[in-house]
Amino acid sequence: MVGFAIAFFSQDAISAPERSEILGLLQGYEWRLSPEAFSQFPADTYVTLIAIAGDDGEVAYIRGRARTALSLYRNDTVWQFFSDLIVDADVAVERRRATESICQLFLSSKPDPLKVNLVPLLDSNDIHLRTKAARCLGQINKAEPDAELESALLGYRDRISESWERRAAGFGESKNQ
């Protein structure tokens, strides 16, 4: 029985990606995401990537690359990671990037949960976060028109005073577009 347990755990250890191996894939001066390289690892590699992406002890560019690599794993755990980051990140740019990522990854598969996560961001103090949320919500509303979402977007649009913010949010030049 002990031999079985050792063999079982040894097999698990062999199949689980080591953090150092994943970190090696995130290095390099001219780094590019390589789906082929990540496909050599088990399907649960996203767990290691989330650990790296959420580790404040890692260098910011490595955390960012780990978040980029999470685009290869569109599952509920990755969804929850980005959802939590939108709410909990202390750094504004991390919230913005999480908003962009969650929109890119889950726009077609989770439009309703995206609405729930992003509509409150239309009231954020961070102008850039508001515009990223509005752009994503506009895409959702275009694909699946929703009166409540339309109302939230129009309310936000009517509060905008700067033309650049209107354009960035996807509303065009004037308040009436």
Dump pLDDT digits (tens) for 42-68. Answer: 999 999 999 999 999 999 999 999 999
- pLDDT exceeds 50 at position 6: no
The Cα-based distances of 68 to 12, 71, 97, 101, 154 in angstroms read 26, 6, 10, 8, 31
Pairwise pLDDT comparison (140 vs 174), residue with the higher score = 140
Exposed/middle/buried for 82, CB within 10 Å: 0-12, 13-18, 19+? buried
Count CA within 13 A, CB hemisphere, residue 108: 1
Dump pLDDT digits (tens) for 154-165. Answer: 999 999 988 899
- pLDDT exceeds 80 at position 89: yes
Q: Domain ranges in the chain?
A: 1-73, 74-177
Report d(CA 71, CA 80) in Å as an integer: 13
- pLDDT exceeds 60 at position 122: yes
Mean pLDDT of 94-104: 94
Exposed/middle/buried for 124, CB within 10 Å: 0-12, 13-18, 19+? middle
Exposed/middle/buried for 68, CB within 10 Å: 0-12, 13-18, 19+? middle
The pLDDT of residue 14: 38
